[in-house]
Chain A
Amino acid sequence: MATTLAKAADGTEAVTHAARIEHVSKSFAGPAGQQLVLDDITLDVAPGEFVTLLGASGCGKSTLLNLVAGLDRPSAGEITTDGRPALMFQEHALFPWLTAGKNIELALKLRGVPKPERRGKAEELLELVRLKGAYGKRVHELSGGMRQRVALARALAQESKLLLMDEPFAALDAITRDVLHDELTRIWRETQLSVLFVTHNVREAVRLAERVVLLSSRPGRIAREWRVDIPQPRRIEDTAVAELSVEITEELRGEIRRHGQH
């Protein structure tokens, strides 16, 4: 599934999207028979684009991300990506038996980077997330924010065209999250990655994205989309961010209210 476009990325064909999700549905076997989680989702992520998927619980946003990551298969429809995407989780998912630097080197090794180059590359990536001295640090010696930055560096080590992020900052305190938003924006602009970012935080979605996609819940369907034209670097407390957030929140609340009516 993911390989069809990886071939195209070698230059035989022009790639016009980092991920293409076409009429994708997913259902799981539940106690009350088959339960539809995602219903006919169609969504393209352009190369270099930053898209946030926004929705309340039960909208299947993490399920969709797993499908795009290739960790699960859709029940219907097709997903193509430009190479294998990198994935970042809400938990840092760093391996505690390796140091910060070695976690990144493992990603490089699995990608086939020869041994002599790994150390230098890992240090470059740590410098990119501003953790220059953290190479030899164990995971438990790092703060929550530092762990997520190492996880970001490890994801970047895969050199994927597409970075999938599953609420990566949800477990962090507000100050750290704010800093990491700035950091992610900076790195996204420097690397020209495509990002598909899942969150339930409206302000975060508006702060980061070029495009916000709102999913309805049970089953997840695309309810509405907004283009965000506010120039970067933005701040979460910018008036323009706040105004758009109010509008989107209204829409999101409307979606949630529908579920209380029957």
Chain B
Amino acid sequence: MASTDSTTVAKDGSDLAGLEAGLDALETRQTGRTPFRQTFTEKILPPVIAVALVLAVWQALVSFKVVDDPTKLPAPSDVWDVVHTAWLQGELLGYIWTSVSRGLLGFCFALLIGTPLGLLVARVKFVRAAIGPILSGLQSLPSVAWVPPAVIWLGLNNSMMYAVILLGAVPSIANGLVSGVDQVPPLFLRAGRTLGATGLKGTWHIVLPAALPGYVAGLKQGWAFSWRSLMAAEIIASFPDLGVGLGQLLENGRNASDMAMVFEAIFLILIVGIAIDLLIFSPLERWVLRSRGLLVKS
């Protein structure tokens, strides 16, 4: 067994090291980030053009009097004026902040409830059998259906808004975590067990990180549901003492038959929803996927 000729072994050793270094160099793929210019022309420019086109068609409809009724279709410039005035009067940020703070706070509560609930459903057989189907069924219930009971239970106040957000977002978050856990490759669990990660250690070191992509997808959907439920709650339960959020703004516009204000509210709701997704959830999702090499460049 012992080497009779140490020089040949040493030579063999360094040969092997060199060979291996060569193989490693040949087989490693260089991955870099795409240059900004490419991102700009491929990702940013197309949607900007699409939005510009929609605005142009809209303006044309009004300018060429195809639709000649400002109570039905105000010009984009009229809507812009309303937004601009609200900004100058310092009300715009107030509307947005009222809704966004409600939405994000409600979402955080939903996170605190949905995460342990999802983990429980995913890991405990009895709990899964008992409430798993209900949880996925609840996802298809439009959360606006919760507004009337929430008003009766809690009255016209902020708690009622939070209740509606919770009922909308918790099932999505919990279900996202459940499907994330279900998709953990069994190989990881086996590898974890041979390393000694069983029970709670296994959950913490293997199952949760492996389930992260599904969980983040659930969070993203949970936010969309939170935002939608909140708008429904604000529209139905508009009450002056609650402060004017974007939903109330929309309802106020309808009551005043002010179509420009209605459009203003709709755009703000849309833009805020997209902005939160683009600023928080999409980067989070991209980071999770990229660090695992799951983000395929197209």
Q: Is A bound to B? A: yes
Residues of chain A touching chain B, judged by Cβ–Cβ distance below 8 Å, are 69, 71, 84-87, 89, 91, 93, 95-98, 106-107, 110-111, 130-131, 138-146, 154, 158, 175-176, 179, 182-183, 186, 189, 231-233
Choose from B13, B27, B291 the contact partner of A186 (Cβ within 8 Å): B13
Residues of B within 8 A of A130 (CB): 17, 20-21
Residues of A within 8 A of B9 (CB): 233
Please tell me if the beta carbons of B23 and A110 are within 8 angstroms of each other in the complex. Answer: no
Can you spell out 28 A-B residue pairs with CB atoms less than 8 angstroms apart? Answer: A71-B194, A84-B196, A86-B194, A87-B190, A87-B191, A89-B191, A93-B190, A95-B210, A97-B210, A106-B195, A107-B195, A110-B195, A110-B197, A110-B201, A138-B292, A139-B292, A139-B293, A143-B24, A143-B27, A143-B28, A145-B23, A145-B24, A146-B28, A158-B194, A158-B195, A158-B196, A176-B23, A179-B19
Given contacts A85-B194, A95-B206, 10 further A-B contacts (CB under 8 A): A87-B191, A89-B191, A93-B190, A95-B209, A96-B292, A97-B209, A146-B28, A158-B194, A179-B19, A183-B16
- B28-61 CB mask vs A (1 if < 8 Å, else 0) is 1101000000000000000000000000000000
For the complex, what is the distance from the CA of A138 to the CA of B209, rounded to whole Å?
15
Residues of B within 8 A of A189 (CB): 1
Please tell me if the beta carbons of A141 and B28 are within 8 angstroms of each other in the complex. Answer: yes
Query: What 6 A-B pairs have minimum CB-CB distances, sorted nearest first?
Result: A140-B293, A143-B27, A93-B191, A96-B292, A110-B196, A87-B194
Given A138-B291, A139-B293: A146 and B193 interface contact (C-beta under 8 Å): no
For the complex, what is the distance from the CA of A207 to the CA of B210, rounded to whole Å?
37
Given A91-B187, A110-B201, A110-B205: A96 and B293 interface contact (C-beta under 8 Å): yes
Determine the residue in chain A with the shortest Cβ distance to B197. Answer: A110
- B86-99 CB mask vs A (1 if < 8 Å, else 0) is 00000000000000
Residues of B within 8 A of A140 (CB): 292-293
Determine the residue in chain B with the shortest Cβ distance to A66. Answer: B190
Q: Check: B267 CB closer than 8 A to any chain A CB.
A: no
Please tell me if the beta carbons of B12 and A233 are within 8 angstroms of each other in the complex. Answer: yes
Q: Check: B62 CB closer than 8 A to any chain A CB.
A: no
Determine the residue in chain A with the shortest Cβ distance to B295. Answer: A140
For the complex, what is the distance from the CA of A231 to the CA of B4, rounded to whole Å?
10
Determine the residue in chain A with the shortest Cβ distance to B19. Answer: A179
For the complex, what is the distance from the CA of A86 to the CA of B196, rounded to whole Å?
10
Residues of B within 8 A of A154 (CB): 195
Residues of A within 8 A of B73 (CB): none
For the complex, what is the distance from the CA of A205 to the CA of B206, rounded to whole Å?
33
Given A106-B195, A145-B27, A183-B16: A97 and B187 interface contact (C-beta under 8 Å): no
Please tell me if the beta carbons of B28 and A142 are within 8 angstroms of each other in the complex. Answer: yes
For the complex, what is the distance from the CA of A140 to the CA of B194, rounded to whole Å?
22
Please tell me if the beta carbons of A182 and B16 are within 8 angstroms of each other in the complex. Answer: yes
Q: Check: B272 CB closer than 8 A to any chain A CB.
A: no
Choose from A87, A111, A141, A145 the contact partner of B293 (Cβ within 8 Å): A141
Please tell me if the beta carbons of A111 and B291 are within 8 angstroms of each other in the complex. Answer: no
For the complex, what is the distance from the CA of A111 to the CA of B201, rounded to whole Å?
12
Please tell me if the beta carbons of B1 and A232 are within 8 angstroms of each other in the complex. Answer: yes
Please tell me if the beta carbons of A69 and B27 are within 8 angstroms of each other in the complex. Answer: no
For the complex, what is the distance from the CA of A96 to the CA of B27, rounded to whole Å?
19
Please tell me if the beta carbons of B195 and A175 are within 8 angstroms of each other in the complex. Answer: no
In angstroms, how far is the closest chain B Cβ from the Cβ of A191? 14
Q: Check: B212 CB closer than 8 A to any chain A CB.
A: yes
In this complex, which of A87, A95, A107, A145 has the most chain B Cβ atoms within 10 angstroms of its Cβ? A95
